[in-house]
């Protein structure tokens, strides 16, 4: 028996044996994302590129969950891991069938290029919808849970996860191929790197993907600093370039002169798998002495180790038995619905919600996102066998008369074909006038908010110019609200949007809520469930008061450093009930906080209890406070529950200007509540945090 087939050996030992049998040309052929078959060794062709940001993407039918930023709004590690496990299960089921039919093409493999754990530092970034928000702690916890769900508990990986984009990548999209992100050591180690470190050390993520940009002058996909950082963390997986990022070395960053030099630079600096076409000339670069052949050997070994970990060279593994009928099954769609319900954030409610259908004869559903499937899915999406738009969900739940008007285009000035005049406002006003209550469905979708090259938003390459609705929708909102009818604004977007809804009775931020988002919305509108999502990003009043988009400094960015301009705070979100913290205790020996919470309202509800810590002494502490714990719980009316939070050593640490992390204080204040411990959160949520002073 060949050693590489011996399952008693470690995956790395098996991979080393297999690669030792390859010629240099064969080794290089395995470093492309579309790796070639080596028939003489029994190695089938394999395409490394697959996506599962919020369900299997671009590979046919699959369950579609809320977009990543919506999943983050659940503030729920257990549910996040369950979602990822479903994604891995469906990936295996689809892989089993694709392999059976000889399809080894793109999006058919088991190496999933998710999650995106970049920090959503600026709300203008169109790809921020792919992330878990602005908080390094929240991102680390949710990203770790997602990776564990994708990879399983072993010894065979269910799928292989990928932490991307390493590092300091969060726009602007239009210049990402030549942009040099200048980031000081404090911000690097306090904000941009912690989630990647957690996924490497705690989740044992199998791969890391580089970014398009440079970081402090070094291309992120060939950065000695970043590669050394991974080595210090003990990373044992493989490194993949972002797609066609290596080509940028000589065409956009201008750090090399030729394609051969770029390929050699990437390989020499640790890029094992090239997504793109740069490694097609790698053999020539090696033969010309631009890169050492032993680097190709090392990269091929790392890649083969991953394939062996996935069971690809074993006769059979348990995951081969996963049947196709799990794909888009009822159980998986039920989970998607639950996530949609838990993700939506109630930003405002003057008492109109929940609606009592017995007191209504008609509902007007208005807006360009009311009956839009694009408003459900965000970017990096799959095909669904069932979807429920906002309009369809309300129709399912309400037996009275439903009026509908699109009202306006998503962003164009006319609703009519061929550009003829016709804005739709008159019909919207008519519907509003004939309705007892109005559900105004506005926002964005991934055709104008997303990744550069994937959107029609040519003026900003997928980013946003401001934090408001497109002008045609602003006018629609103004006109409808001018009637002073009971109105609920529902915003579908992957980022912070100020809908200027001061005169609305209620505002729900629905994100891109997944295939059954309309059913989830209806369940919330009519009180079948209480909303419970929390904002994983700060909603600002306007972009004008924000730092420059190109500035990667954290000054006046995110809840930890915000000085002004906050519309709705990070961690904020209302329910239909009221939960208060009744008791808070600190165990100095175990470094644990005990929190007792009680539902003193009139409706059963989920609630997210949040823990924040403020360093009271160190000059290196964050300006405000930082999240250090969160737990979602369900509380019936009058019910009280006790929770225990373990304070990790990192909660007490600060980072200085040299990037050194250490404990610099003895005195801290720890807060527990259903939101941040700031004045605006207290005002909006109607309940204050409880605090305790901690000495270490």
DSSP 227: H
Q: Would you state the structure tokens that stand for residue 664, as one six-digit string?
A: 């610099």
State the pLDDT confidence band at 455, using cuts at 50, 70 and 90.
Answer: confident
What is the mean predicted confidence (pLDDT) over 591-602?
97
DSSP 241: P
Query: What is the architecture of the domain spanning 579-695?
Result: Sandwich (2.60)
pLDDT the model gives residue 207: 98
Residue 221 to residues 250, 257, 288, 585, Cα–Cα distance (Å): 13, 16, 22, 47
Catalytic machinery residues: 242
| pLDDT(375) > 70 | yes
What is the mean predicted confidence (pLDDT) over 82-106?
97
What is the mean predicted confidence (pLDDT) over 392-396?
98
Cα(133)–Cα(560) distance, integer angstroms: 13
What is the mean predicted confidence (pLDDT) over 337-348?
98
| pLDDT(459) > 70 | no
**What distance lies between CA 659 and its chain's CA centroid?**
26
pLDDT the model gives residue 422: 72
Overall size of the chain counted in residues: 696
Q: What percent of the chain has pLDDT over 70?
A: 99
Angle at 588 between CA 585 and CA 592, to 5 degrees: 60
What is the mean predicted confidence (pLDDT) over 335-339?
98
Angle at 33 between CA 29 and CA 35, to 5 degrees: 35
Strand pairing partners for 366?
A: 405, 440
Query: What is the architecture of the domain spanning 330-537?
Result: 3-Layer(aba) Sandwich (3.40)
| pLDDT(457) > 80 | no
Fold held by 3-322: TIM Barrel (3.20.20)
Q: What residue ranges do the domains of the chain occupy?
A: 3-322, 330-537, 579-695
If we measure between CA atoms, which residue out of 66, 52, 37 comes closest to residue 95?
Answer: 52
CB 95 within 8 A of CB 108: yes
What is the mean predicted confidence (pLDDT) over 220-238?
98
pLDDT in tens, 128-175: 999 999 999 999 999 999 999 999 998 999 999 999 999 999 999 999
If we measure between CA atoms, which residue out of 63, 170, 69 comes closest to residue 510?
Answer: 69
State the pLDDT confidence band at 416, using cuts at 50, 70 and 90.
Answer: confident
Cα(640)–Cα(508) distance, integer angstroms: 27
| pLDDT(419) > 70 | no
| pLDDT(458) > 70 | no
pLDDT in tens, 539-572: 999 999 999 999 999 999 999 999 999 999 999 9
State the pLDDT confidence band at 418, using cuts at 50, 70 and 90.
Answer: low
284 φ, ψ (degrees, to nearest 5)? -65, -40
| pLDDT(454) > 90 | no
pLDDT in tens, 265-295: 999 999 999 999 999 999 999 999 999 999 9
Mean pLDDT across the chain:
97
pLDDT the model gives residue 115: 98
pTM of the model: 0.98
Residue 245 to residues 21, 357, 525, Cα–Cα distance (Å): 30, 54, 45
What is the mean predicted confidence (pLDDT) over 629-650?
97
pLDDT in tens, 12-56: 999 999 999 999 999 999 999 999 999 999 999 999 999 999 999
CB 687 within 8 A of CB 672: no
Residue 493 to residues 124, 148, 340, 536, 580, Cα–Cα distance (Å): 12, 28, 14, 13, 30
**Secondary structure string (H, E, C) spanning 332-380:** HHHHHHHHHHHHCEEEEECCCCCCCHHHCCEEEEECCCCCCCHHHHCCC
The answer to whether 3-322 and 330-537 have equal CATH topology is no
DSSP letters, 473-514, are HHHHHHHHHTTT--EEEEEE-SS--B---TT-SEEEE--S--
């Amino acid at each position: 028996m060949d050693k590489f087939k011996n399952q008693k050996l470690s995956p790395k030992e098996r991979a080393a044996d297999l690669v030792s049998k390859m010629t240099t040309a064969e080794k290089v052929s395995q470093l492309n994302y579309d790796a070639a078959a080596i028939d003489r060794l029994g190695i089938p062709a394999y395409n490394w590129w697959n996506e599962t940001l919020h369900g299997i993407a671009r590979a046919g039918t699959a369950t579609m969950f809320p977009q990543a930023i919506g999943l983050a709004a659940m503030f729920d590690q257990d549910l996040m891991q369950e979602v990822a496990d479903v994604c891995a299960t469906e990936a295996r089921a689809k892989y089993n069938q694709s392999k059976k039919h000889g399809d080894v093409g793109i999006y058919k493999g088991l190496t999933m290029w998710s999650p995106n754990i970049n920090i959503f530092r600026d709300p203008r970034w169109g790809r921020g919808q792919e992330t878990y928000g602005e908080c390094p702690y929240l991102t680390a916890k949710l990203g770790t849970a997602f990776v564990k769900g994708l990879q399983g508990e072993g010894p065979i990986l269910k799928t292989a996860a990928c932490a991307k984009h390493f590092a300091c990548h969060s726009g602007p999209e239009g210049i990402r191929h030549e942009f040099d992100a200048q980031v000081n050591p404090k911000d690097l180690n306090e904000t941009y790197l912690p989630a990647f470190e957690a996924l490497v050390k705690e989740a044992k993520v199998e791969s890391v993907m580089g970014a398009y940009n440079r970081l402090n002058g070094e291309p992120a996909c060939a950065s000695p600093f970043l590669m050394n950082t991974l080595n210090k963390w003990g990373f044992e997986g493989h490194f993949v370039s972002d797609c066609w990022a290596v080509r940028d070395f000589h065409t956009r960053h201008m750090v090399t002169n030729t394609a051969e030099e770029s390929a050699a630079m990437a390989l020499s600096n640790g890029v094992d798998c090239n997504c793109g076409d740069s490694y097609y000339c790698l053999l020539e670069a090696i033969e010309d002495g631009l890169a050492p052949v032993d680097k190709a050997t090392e990269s091929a070994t790392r890649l083969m180790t991953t394939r062996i970990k996935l069971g690809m060279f074993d006769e059979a593994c348990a995951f081969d038995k996963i049947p196709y009928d799990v794909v888009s099954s009822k159980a998986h769609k039920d989970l998607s619905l639950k996530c949609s319900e838990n993700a939506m954030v109630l930003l405002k409610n003057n008492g109109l919600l929940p609606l009592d259908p017995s007191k209504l004869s008609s509902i007007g559903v208005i807006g360009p996102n009311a009956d839009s499937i694009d408003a459900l899915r965000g970017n990096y999406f799959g095909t669904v066998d069932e979807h429920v738009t906002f309009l369809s969900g309300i129709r399912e739940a309400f037996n009275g008369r439903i009026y509908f008007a699109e009202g306006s285009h998503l962003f164009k000035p006319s609703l009519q074909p061929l550009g003829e005049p016709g804005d739709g406002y008159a019909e919207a006003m008519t519907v509003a006038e004939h309705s007892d209550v109005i559900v105004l469905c506005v926002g964005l979708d991934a055709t104008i908010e997303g990744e550069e090259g994937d959107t029609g938003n040519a003026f900003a390459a997928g980013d946003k110019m401001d934090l408001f609705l497109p002008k045609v929708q602003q006018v629609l909102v103004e006109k409808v609200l001018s009637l002073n009818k009971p109105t609920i604004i529902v915003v579908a977007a992957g980022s912070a949007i100020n809908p200027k809804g001061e005169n609305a009775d209620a505002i729900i931020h629905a994100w891109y809520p997944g295939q059954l988002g309309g059913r989830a919305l209806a369940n919330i509108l009519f009180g079948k469930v209480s909303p419970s999502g929390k904002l994983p990003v700060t909603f600002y009043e306007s972009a004008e008061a924000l730092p420059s988009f190109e500035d990667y400094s954290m000054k006046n960015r995110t809840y930890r450093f915000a000085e002004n301009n906050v519309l709705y705070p990070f961690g904020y979100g209302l329910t239909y009930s009221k939960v208060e913290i009744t008791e808070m205790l600190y165990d100095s020996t175990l470094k644990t906080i005990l929190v007792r919470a009680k539902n003193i309202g009139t409706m059963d509800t989920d609630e997210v209890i949040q823990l924040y810590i403020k360093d009271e002494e160190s000059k290196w502490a964050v300006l405000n406070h930082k999240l250090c714990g969160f737990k979602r719980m369900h509380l019936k009316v009058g019910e009280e529950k006790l929770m225990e939070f373990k304070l990790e050593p990192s909660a007490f640490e600060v980072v200085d200007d040299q990037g050194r992390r250490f404990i610099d204080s003895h005195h801290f204040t720890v807060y527990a509540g259903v939101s941040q411990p700031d004045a605006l959160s207290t005002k909006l949520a109607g309940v204050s945090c409880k605090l305790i002073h901690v000495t270490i």
